[in-house]
Amino acid sequence: MTPNNNLKKLLLTSASICLLTSVQIQAKKEAPPTVKEAQAYVANAEATIESNYEFQAKTAWVQANFVTTDTNFLVAKMGEEATKMGVSLALGAKKFNGLEVDYDTRRKLEILKAGLTIPAPENDELTAELAQISANLDAMYAKGCSPKEECYVLGDLSKILADPKTSHEEKLEAWINWRKVSPQMRKSYQRMVEIANEGSKELGFKDTGVLWRSKYDMPAEDFAVEMDRVWGQVKPLYKSLQCHVRAKLNEKYGNKVVSKKGPIPAHLLGNMWSQAWGNVFPDVAPKTSTPATDLTARLLEKGYTEKQMVHTAEDFFTSLGFKPLPKTFWERSLFVKPQDRDVQCHASAWDLTPDDYRIKMCIQKTAEDFVVIHHELGHNFYQRAYNLTQPMLYRGSANDGFHEAIGDTIALSINDSYLKEIGLIDEVPDAAGDLPYLMQMALDKIAFLPFSLVVDKWRWNVFNGEIAENEYNKEWWKLREEYQGIKAPVKRTEKHFDPGAKYHVPGNVPYSRYFLAHILQFQFHKELCKIVGNEGPLHRCSIYGNKEAGAKLNAMLEMGASRPWQEALETMTGKSEMDASAILDYFAPLQVWLDEQNKDRNCGW
C-alpha cells in the first residue's frame, strides 16, 4: 500500500497467525536458538505476512477512498491486529540476536526487528489505544475540519497560495485556515508518542526516532550525521536561492510584508507548507529573451484530461521497456476527487496483490501534478519489479528514499526536448530558456531540501523528549527558521499544532526519505543520461524511449530490499555513497547566475 516498504507490509499483517507465532516462540524459550529455527522462523514470518497482506491492504484502500466512521473503525481494528503481529514478529526475531546465520536469514531478521513505524508495547489496551489514535489522526487530516466543524478543502486553499495574482491577505487567510484543522490533533499526537516510545523500547530501540533511523544499513547515529553531511553540500545553493527569492518577494510585496533581511513569511512561497516554491516562478524568474515553457498552460490548451496525464506518464515507463500496468490499474485507481464523499486526497501508490496496482490522487491539471503522477507511477513500477522477483520480506525498496526517487528520476526528463517529442510543444526553445527552466526546477527541488530535514528533525526530537509537548509549535517554527529561513506570517502559540497540518505528521510517514530521494534522483539521472549518450547539460537530457537506460533502472528495482542500499546504489551508479555533486552539477549554471544577482544583497537570515 502507500509509501511502499517492508514496514507497511508488517503493519498490514493480521492477528490469527500472530498468536501462533508467539506461542511457538514461548514454547522454545528455554533452549538456545539454532540456525534451523532461525530459518524456519523467517519462513513462517514471510508466509504469515503474505497470507494477510491482501486483506489488510484492501481494508486500508477502502478507508482511504471512503473516509467514514465505519471505515475508520475497520482500519483501527486492522491496525491493532497488524501492530500486534509486527511486534510479535520483531520480538521473535530478537531472540536470534548474536546467532550466526546465512546472509538472507540475518538480513530478514533485521528487517523484521525494525519493521514497524509506530510500534505498541506488548499490551492489548495500549495497542488498541494506539491504533485508534492513528486512525483518528489520519481521518482528521483527510476531513480537514476544525473543532467547530468548519471544513476546508486543501486543494482549494492551495490554489489561492499558488496563484501569484491573489493578494497577500487572501493568501494569509488560506494559510491560517488550513492550520485550523490540526490543533485538535495535538493531545492525541502526544499520547501516540508516549505509547510508541514504550513500544520502541521493548523492541530494543532507545526511542521511536532511533527506530526510524535504524532502517538504513548503518548505525542509527551515523544516519543522522550522513544526512547533515549531504545537507552541508547543498546548503550554499539553498542560501543563494532563498536570498534571491526573498529579494524578489520584497520587490513585489514591499518592506512591510517581506523584509530584505531575515526569514521569508511562509504564506508567500506558493505552497501550503513552503516546501516547494515552483509557484512563485513568475515573480522570481530570470528575465531572458526566451521564456520558460508553461507546461500547465500547454496541458490545458491541448485539452488533457486527468486520465490522459496518467497515460502519458505510463507511456514514459513503457518507452523504457517496462510492461504496461495491468488493466485493473485503470479500473480501480482514483484519479479525480469525488464530490460526494471524503477521501484521503494525499497522493499515494498501492500494491494490493502482485498483479493489482493502483494510485489514489485528486489530480489537478497542472505541471506540478503531472510530476506527482510520475512520482506515483514510479512507486507502482518499483513495486511490480520486486513483487515479481523477491520473497515477501524483500518486497520493498533498497531504502525508503529509493522508493521516493524513482518516479522523480523519470520526471527529471520532462524537459523541452521531451515535451516536443510527445507533441506538447512545437519547438524546443534555444539555450536562453535554460536559466528559467533551472530556476523552475530549483524552486521545487532545492527549496524542498531543508523542509524535508525539518519534518523529521522535529519528530526525532519529539520522540527523544528534547521537544516537550508544551513547546511543539515553538520548536517547529524554530527549525523552520533555522533550516529554511522562513517564518510564520502571524503569531503562533501552543494552542496551534502546525506540524499536524502536514499530512505525513498525522499520517506517521517518516520524511527523511524525501530528502534522500531528492539527492538520489539526480545521481540516478546523471547515470542514466550517460547511458543514453547525453553530452549536453544534465537538465537538457531526457531518457525517454531508451531501453538500455530502462534495463539499468530495472536491474536496481528488481533487487528490492535484498541487499544494502549502498549496493543497490553501486549497481546503478558505480558508487556506493550518497553524493550531492550530481544535483550541484545540474544546477551549476543557476548557481553562477544567482551569485551575480545576489552580489549586492545581504544574504542569510
Residues classed as catalytic: 346-347, 375-376, 379, 404, 504, 514
What the block records as the C-alpha cell of 449 is: 531540501
Q: Under DSSP, is residue 206 helix (H, G, I), strand (E, B) or coil?
A: coil
Least distance in angstroms from the C-beta of 71 to ligand X8Z: 21
Cα angle, residue 450 at apex, residues 449 and 454 outer, rounded to 5°: 125
Residues from 399 through 428 that contact Zn ion (CB under 5 A)? 404
Least distance in angstroms from the C-beta of 154 to ligand X8Z: 11
Residue with cell 478543502: 153
User: Which residue has the CB atom at the shortest distance from Zn ion?
Assistant: 404
Q: Are 53 and 81 in contact (CB under 8 A)?
A: no
* 277: partner contacted, choices Zn ion, ligand X8Z, none (Cβ within 5-8 A by kind): none
What the block records as the C-alpha cell of 580 is: 550531492
Give 429-457 as a DSSP string.
--GGGHHHHHHHHHHHHHHHHHHHHHHHH
Residue with cell 493531545: 187
Cα angle, residue 133 at apex, residues 127 and 139 outer, rounded to 5°: 140
Q: Give the x/- contact pattern for Zn ion in 575-594, rule: CB under 5 A.
A: --------------------
User: Which residue has the CB atom at the shortest distance from ligand X8Z?
Assistant: 347
* 347: partner contacted, choices ligand X8Z, Zn ion, none (Cβ within 5-8 A by kind): ligand X8Z
Burial class for 250, CB neighbours closer than 10 Å (0-12, 13-18, 19+): middle
**Of 118 and 361, which has the nearer Cβ to Zn ion?**
361
How far, in Å, CA of 133 to CA of 113, rounded? 23
Element spanning 159, H or E: helix 154-162
Least distance in angstroms from the C-beta of 151 to ligand X8Z: 21
* 514: partner contacted, choices ligand X8Z, Zn ion, none (Cβ within 5-8 A by kind): ligand X8Z
What the block records as the C-alpha cell of 407 is: 518516479
Strands 486-487 and 264-265: parallel
* 292: partner contacted, choices ligand X8Z, Zn ion, none (Cβ within 5-8 A by kind): none
For residue 267, the tally of other CB atoms under 10 A from its CB is 25
For residue 212, the tally of other CB atoms under 10 A from its CB is 27
What the block records as the C-alpha cell of 309 is: 496525464
**Of 132 and 348, which has the nearer Cβ to ligand X8Z?**
348
**Of 13 and 158, which has the nearer Cβ to ligand X8Z?**
158
Q: Are 589 and 361 in contact (CB under 8 A)?
A: no
| Residues β-bridged to residue 265 | 487
**Of 181 and 195, which has the nearer Cβ to ligand X8Z?**
181
Nearest CA-CA partner of 458 in 443, 442, 471 = 471
What the block records as the C-alpha cell of 94 is: 530478537
**Of 129 and 404, which has the nearer Cβ to ligand X8Z?**
404
Least distance in angstroms from the C-beta of 375 to ligand X8Z: 6
Least distance in angstroms from the C-beta of 597 to ligand X8Z: 27
What the block records as the C-alpha cell of 370 is: 503531472
How far, in Å, CA of 477 to CA of 461, rounded? 13
Q: Taking the mean position of all CA atoms in its chain, how far away is CA 200?
A: 22
Q: Under DSSP, is residue 151 helix (H, G, I), strand (E, B) or coil?
A: strand
Residues from 2 through 61 that contact Zn ion (CB under 5 A)? none
* 138: partner contacted, choices Zn ion, ligand X8Z, none (Cβ within 5-8 A by kind): none
What the block records as the C-alpha cell of 281 is: 516562478
* 516: partner contacted, choices ligand X8Z, Zn ion, none (Cβ within 5-8 A by kind): none
**Of 347 and 367, which has the nearer Cβ to ligand X8Z?**
347
* 129: partner contacted, choices ligand X8Z, Zn ion, none (Cβ within 5-8 A by kind): none
Least distance in angstroms from the C-beta of 407 to Zn ion: 7
Number of residues that bind Zn ion (CB under 5 A): 1
Task: Please report, in angstroms and rounded to a whole number, the separation of the first and last CA atoms in the chain.
Answer: 41
* 440: partner contacted, choices Zn ion, ligand X8Z, none (Cβ within 5-8 A by kind): none
* Sign (positive or negative) of CA dihedral 269, 517, 553, 587: positive
Least distance in angstroms from the C-beta of 2 to Zn ion: 8
* 369: partner contacted, choices ligand X8Z, Zn ion, none (Cβ within 5-8 A by kind): none
How far, in Å, CA of 253 to CA of 250, rounded? 5
**Of 4 and 197, which has the nearer Cβ to ligand X8Z?**
4
Q: Which stretch binds Zn ion (CB under 5 A): 130-138, 261-269, 296-304, 397-405?
A: 397-405
* 456: partner contacted, choices ligand X8Z, Zn ion, none (Cβ within 5-8 A by kind): none
Least distance in angstroms from the C-beta of 158 to ligand X8Z: 11
**Of 275 and 279, which has the nearer Cβ to ligand X8Z?**
275
CA distances from 240 to 437, 446, 476, 595 (A): 17, 10, 23, 7
Least distance in angstroms from the C-beta of 498 to ligand X8Z: 15
**Of 404 and 498, which has the nearer Cβ to Zn ion?**
404
Amino acid at 183: P
Provide the binding-site residues for ligand X8Z, judged by CB under 6 A.
3, 275, 347-348, 372, 375, 404, 514
**Of 347 and 453, which has the nearer Cβ to ligand X8Z?**
347
Least distance in angstroms from the C-beta of 163 to ligand X8Z: 19
User: What residues make contact with Zn ion under the rule CB under 5 A?
Assistant: 404
